[in-house]
Structure 1
Amino acid sequence: MLPPGSTIGILGGGQLGRMMAVAALQLGYRVVGFAPEGDNVAADACSGFITAEWDDAAALGQFAAACDVVTWEFENVPVSTVAALPEPLLACPVRALEVAQDRLREKAFAAELGGVPAPYRAVESAEDLAAAIAAVGTPGILKTARDGYDGKGQWRVRSVVEAGTAVFPGVTCIYEGFVTYETEFSVILVRGADGEVRFWDSTANLHEGGMLAQSILPAGALVEAQVPAARELAARVAEALGYVGVLTLEFFATREGPVFNEMAPRVHNSGHWTIEGAATSQFENHIRAICELPLGGTKTRFASIEMRNIVGEDALKAHMILAEPGEPHLHLYGKAEAREGRKMGHVTRVGHALK
């Protein structure tokens, strides 16, 4: 176990790192962050924050010297950055990033473990794209194999006519067939260094413009029926990776069963409700796991829960939410610029408490 007063290093400076740092402070740890120049809101909750490029060897050395354990807050931290750190500092093997950063590798990895992804093809050229569209059909979606998130790096191909005009963006991509589904849902687990796994309840997730807008519990009968199979896959993924911490897998709930969409080796937007709504939040349990502390309970505390993201300029009037009914719990991330499509915070509403 990592004793109180030890220092946790977090790679990345966004809101997930900020909420992880708050959880770490509550458990008596110091936090040092590391990220390139930007709106690093995690710094507000850190004892120290190093602003440097991911390949700055001297800065990484300074960061490593200050830390007793290192984790990351998003999956696009360069693998080379993590691999440059002393291996004993890493709470989780770098392989988790290697798999999650490449959508082609991620799909194949999940399929090898028994998961069912949407039909897909690799795309390296305009000719590959035409062949993929012919094989998979339309509608479909073209995604960059790396670096996309929240709807970025994605292009819908709705028809054969659009297929004829689809333009290859010049980087390795994946073309996926559309899945007919009732809703999307997440399986979020925490795995300790000893292999113990605990799951939170799965929310139904509603998206707008490719970005998560709302997560709801209860998730509905179809999702609840598919959670056991989805959890089995998630547990196999965590074990195969030797994963430690919070891991998220996203699924489509279809009439034929859960279809694997993607994984995120980190705390997740669809788990923000756990701060107020679960016995232990995803952020606290992530810190517990990487510090080898006993894991906390994941039981849902309320009969109904809704988490909604606050995006763009809606944040400017977000404090008005506090006057609304439904016991709103407001979280603003301290970002300086309320740009369109930018996650600025979230609000969670809970129903009556469960006994």
Structure 2
Amino acid sequence: MAPPVTQFELAQPPNDAISALAFAPDSPSRLLAASWDKNVYLYDTLHNGDGDDGVHGTLVRTFAHRAPVMDVCFGADGGEAFTAGMDWQVRRVDLATGEQATLSKHAAPVRRVVYSREHSLLISASWDSTLHVHSPLNPSLAPLAVPLPGKPHAMAASPSKVIVAMTSRLVHIYDLAALSAALNSSSQEPPQPWQQRESSLKFLTRAVAAMPSDAGYATSSIEGRVAVEWFDASAESQARKYAFKCHRQPQPATTDGGSGAVADVVYPVNALAFHPVHGSTFASGGGDATVALWDAEAKRRMKVYQKFADSVAALAFSADGRYLAVGVCPGFETGMRDYAGEGRARIFVRELGENEALPKGKGK
């Protein structure tokens, strides 16, 4: 008898670079992918289709946009999605009918969107250096505009906070309850950040992921590093934060002396995702075409998966923690002029073993 498939490739992947992946909050098999090919893709990852050559899953529907889609997230359930576009628009997509509605328009491309189910809020972050806070339950309510001191590049929401990482190593953390109150007030006066921080990483932040425990977050940079921090501002808690090198590949250095020295080739860490059940476990994906699992509390690497054919651009865990989706496509390490990623995007889904993501010391 053949062993069970633990990793498979999805049929009918996007035609260009993958910008984001998201699993539905109420289904372990409903997956969204956003792409630079101006489409959002909805998959049923567990419907086998033909299942030939290790390719599984079914493309349920494609949702065309007018410009590349930079980010996508589900809303309150698996029936709605929200998108961030290079056309400056934030859109709601009815995944059953395909109907799209514009929630707001920024003054520059929209980089990220996150939905808070705890507060029924949608937050968009744009390169116009603003956040827009929307109430999908009350679409007639004008979005709350929150000015930012820098261009946002990454954003994530925990149960009570939203973390925004910007240029110049700026990190603002907003309280979601305060954002909701401001949105629903008559003045719509934007609240001040709950906390303002300087990134622990010296170079541009590429990704942010929030701990499901609401205790803190992780950030990653273009320079092969990840930092783990906690919300608690006490000196004791802040002393726990740390950063480490990762997604680097050793390569013999070119030296005249022939010493055989080895230098690291440094790759950007493009994606981070915390495990929804084992909350101190998170995954990282990099330009070195690998995915690693980490234990944030124990400060250790748990696993490195086999190398993919191209850069890892996006990651997402299913809500039950059983599946990890991996978006793979050529990166931009050599610059946009040399980019040749059309037709090479692929999405893999890994079924995790029972204890595969279990943090150290928590096994049976």
TM-score computed with the length of structure 2 as normaliser? 0.32
Give the strand-richer structure, 1 or 2: 2
Higher relative contact order structure (alpha carbons within 8 Å, sequence separation ≥ 6): 1
Give the helix-richer structure, 1 or 2: 1
TM-score computed with the length of structure 1 as normaliser? 0.33
